[in-house]
Amino acid sequence: MCKEIKIVSKIKDGEILKCNTCNSFTLTYRNLFFEFSPPEFDNFKKYISKIDVNYWEDNSCIKTKRKVFIPTQQENLILMFHKKEIKDLKILLNINDSEKFVILNSNQIDFDIVYN
């Protein structure tokens, strides 16, 4: 039984907890619940970081709102997400999208600077 549980990350629709006794991770997001060992957690995080949401949205032939698919080891079970849910998972997992946070140099900023 886990007695020393620490909140690792939390957003409106989910959270990640870590048990300091057994080192397991629990990820809850909306109606999903995952339990991971440390290696499983790292693999899940890597998998989520590599998902190309635009590819799935552009190439999906299924007419559902959720077009991003994550297969599971159970052949008949596939998790479905839409763009915002993947974004939420990346925030929850502390995955930085490098293309979102590009450092600009001063000549790329288009406004007048007023010195006081």
Q: What is the pLDDT along the chain (116 residues), one digit of tens a residue?
A: 567 899 999 998 999 999 999 899 999 999 999 999 999 999 999 999 998 888 777 776 666 778 788 888 888 998 989 889 999 999 999 987 654 545 666 665 666 666 76
For residue 74, the 8-state DSSP code is S
Position 113 scores a pLDDT of 64
Which residue type, as a one-letter code, is found at position 110? D
**Torsion sign over Cα 43, 36, 76, 73:** positive
Measure the CA angle with vertex 13, ends 12 and 18; round to 5°: 95
Q: Is the pTM of this model over 0.75?
A: no
Position 91 scores a pLDDT of 92
Residue-range domain boundaries for the chain? 1-38, 49-95
Coil, strand, or helix at residue 84? helix
- Contact (Cβ atoms closer than 8 angstroms) between residue 14 and residue 7: no
Position 61 scores a pLDDT of 67
Phi and psi angles of residue 74, each rounded to the nearest 5 degrees, phi first? -80, 115
